């Protein structure tokens, strides 16, 4: 099992060691957007599972890096959001506010 908090810190440590951006949050979100686009492009062009998976890994790396830059415990946020989503009620794929 992967320890997401440890992975988040490892990714940030690599950013520090390689002297990557550590402060420009808008730039990081732009890079994250680019990685999502590259993932979609790899899938759309049928480049194969390995290419898509590596692009999705980049999405995760940028997401974890941004979380660490912002001091966010992404593991806790993920668990909270999963719990929220599991409790939501949907009918035909549409969220129902009050049942």
Can you name the CATH fold of 4-74? Helix Hairpins (1.10.287)
By CB atoms closer than 10 A (0-12, 13-18, 19+), residue 43 is middle
Assessment of whether the complete model's pTM goes beyond 0.95: no
The answer to whether 54 and 85 are in contact (CB under 8 A) is: no
- Hey, where are the domains in the chain? 4-74
pLDDT score, position 98: 61
The answer to whether 83 and 27 are in contact (CB under 8 A) is: no
Predicted confidence (pLDDT) per residue in 40-92, tens digit: 999 999 999 999 999 999 999 999 999 999 999 999 999 999 999 999 998 88
């Amino acid at each position: 099992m992967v320890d997401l908090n440890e992975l988040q810190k490892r990714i940030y440590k690599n950013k520090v060691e390689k002297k990557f951006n550590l402060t420009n949050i808008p730039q990081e979100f732009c890079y994250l957007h680019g990685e999502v686009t590259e993932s979609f492009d790899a899938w759309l062009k049928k480049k194969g599972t390995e290419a898509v998976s590596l692009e999705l890994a980049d999405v995760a790396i940028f997401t974890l890096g941004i979380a660490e830059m912002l001091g966010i415990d992404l593991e806790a946020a993920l668990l909270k959001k999963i719990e929220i989503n599991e409790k939501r009620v949907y009918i035909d794929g549409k969220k129902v506010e009050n049942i």
